[in-house]
Structure 1
Amino acid sequence: MTKNPKRPPAGLPDEDTLIAFLREAGSAEKTDIARHFGLKGGERRMLREMIRELEEAGKLGKRGRKGFSEVGALPPVGVADVVERDMDGELYVRLVEASADAPRALLVPDNDKPGPAPGMGDRVLVKFARGEDGWEARLIKTLDAGANKVLGVIRKSNKEVRVEPVDRKSKDVLIVPHAQAEGLRDGDLVLAAIEKGDQRYGPKRGKILEKIGHEGDARAASLIAIAAHNVPMGFSEAVEKEAGDQELPSLKGREDLRDLPLITIDPADARDHDDAVYAMRDEDPKNVDGWIVWVAIADVAAYVRPNT
């Protein structure tokens, strides 16, 4: 026979006891709090007043439609939107329907789950936990990946700002507020979300999630592919540090060609410049009017070694 868990003493809790309960629970609705402390009638009205005062004092924050949490805390599990991508390509989520005190959390994907990784604007079910560097959100399930997102080009006029999809098969031209388009140019590539509403006719409403680049960029096609498939951009601090700490490969067993005035043949927008050429007249009388051409290809494997 199992024993019933110890119930808290009946009666309205003080401020510290209430916050301690919410800290352990993650979040709770008023009815759950009242049930936990065995409150009835007038005590429930007093609890509602206490919660209102604590919220006004900045000690409690709303979580969902009816829930509350200690300010700056997150529930164990919740529905969140992917709202930000940093320079390293890491994604951050924010709890849906939460007050402004709810912190963002680093999205930690589950690599064992099949299917594409979440991207900007996706809604996800996550498990929240405090990490060494702040809150983390471990992915449980992606709820509506890509269903309400448009990758498009900004088109500005005096009357409105539109996002025209780059996918010619898509008919989702979006109207976005002028305030969201401040700092954006006509022709900028952006990722936008379709706003849900009751509008049945005319262009749909949208909001801009992030700027991808510009349609005139030499890398426009690559940028569109990267955004469409949620390919991470940038590198983590650990990778950048490891690259900076690399030693130059030894010249042992190699011919030193650094005095040759090599010219790179990679375009200006290339991510790396590792191919070059140099041409010189051949002075050998057996090769009249001949040329010698050096084709130099960087030995990348000398830098990128196993387990680095």
Structure 2
Amino acid sequence: MARRVSGRSHGDLRTADTRAKVKDNYRPSRDEILRYIAENPDRSGKRDIAKAFALRGEDRIWLKDILRDLQDEGLLTKERKRLARVGALAHVAVLDIFGRDADGVLLAHPTEAVGNGEPPVIAIRVSRGGGPTPGIGDRVLAKTFPTDEVTGPAYTGRVMKIFEKRTEAVLGVFRVLQDGTFRIEPVERRQPELVVDKEFQNGAKNGDLVEVEPARASRYGLPRAKVLAVLG
């Protein structure tokens, strides 16, 4: 366990502008460290944390012990020399853009599962400086940042790269069959019907016009697809 030193008080989280005003005997609490890591995923290395709390000398050894304890307790995980809250989205993640909100903001899910619950929603921030401009159906590499929104997206994302599409999106009508399975009737009649598994329904309902991404063709049966967006 990390060493405890009496006489050390816990104060508020500090910034670079206030570090010099704080007494040398300051040590942050575990909750303050966890909050800092959650709010600063791009500055969550051990040195970054020590700098944020103005920890020097013996205090840095104390911080190392605390961080090891938090990892041993399953509260933190280490990724590429950065620490992150367990169950939190990685600071740099691959995202699939699936739609827009009522204000036209692009929304995405992480490609890989995060924890055991519903996948978090990421609001994509489009760069004004001429950076990559993604669209619905794109797979992107993005930096993610947690938000304070209670009901809105849990993260915002800044796109770093748009991956080349493996297949072209297909437009079709979403159908629910009598046995409860899902089919896509392509708008382009030359294309075959597609099967959609429940986990790739993406909120589509019977009769919706949808944009889907076909998967690799199977040797048996109809090809499969996942719904990228509900268009109407």
Coarse TM-score class (shorter-chain normalised): 0.5 to 0.7
- Which whole-Å deviations, capped at 9, do the CAs of 1:126-155 have from their partners, x for residues lacking one? 122356756321111111447363221124
Greater C-alpha radius of gyration:
1
Are the equivalent residues in 1 in contact too, given 2:204–2:210 (CA < 8 A)? Answer: no
Task: Look up the match of 1:136.
Answer: 156
Q: Which residue of 2 aligns with 1:154?
A: 174
Residue 16 of structure 1 is aligned with which of 30, 41, 54? 30
The answer to whether structure 1 residue 105 and structure 2 residue 119 are counterparts is no
Matched, 1:173 2:193: yes
- Alpha-carbon spacing, 1:172–1:149, altered in 2? closer, same or farther (3 Å): farther
Q: CA 1:51/1:205 → structure 2, altered by over 3 Å: closer, same or farther? A: farther
Change in 2 beyond 3 A, CA 1:204/1:156: same
Q: Deviations over 1:166-221 (max 9, x none)?
A: 2345x353202368498823x4311223356x8333322223343322xxxxxxxx
Q: The residue matched to 2:231 in structure 1 has which SS?
A: strand
Structure 1 unmatched ranges of 5 or more: 1-11, 29-36, 38-42, 214-308
Compute the displacement of 1:81 (Å).
1.6
Q: 1:231 — aligned with what?
A: none
TM-score between the two structures when normalised by the length of structure 2:
0.54
Q: Which amino acid aligns with 1:128?
A: T
Q: CA deviation at 1:107?
A: 0.4
Does 2:188 correspond to 1:188?
A: no
Which structure would you say has the larger RCO, counting Cα contacts within 8 Å and 6 or more residues apart? Answer: 2
Aligned pairs (5 A) from 1:26-45: none
Aligned pair partner of 1:163 in 184, 209, 217: 184
CA contact (8 A) 1:118 1:142 kept: no
What's the counterpart of residue 70 of structure 1?
A: 85
Task: Tell me if structure 1 keeps the 8 A contact 2:211–2:230.
Answer: yes
Query: Hey, what's the Cα distance between the residues in 2 that align with 1:149 and 1:52?
Result: 44
What amino acid is the match of 2:169? K
Instruction: Summarize deviations over 1:279-301 as a string: whole Å, max 9, x none.
Output: xxxxxxxxxxxxxxxxxxxxxxx
1:94 aligns with 2:114: no
| Percent identity of equivalent pairs | 29
RMSD (Å) for aligned C-alpha atoms: 4.6
Aligned residue pairs, count = 177
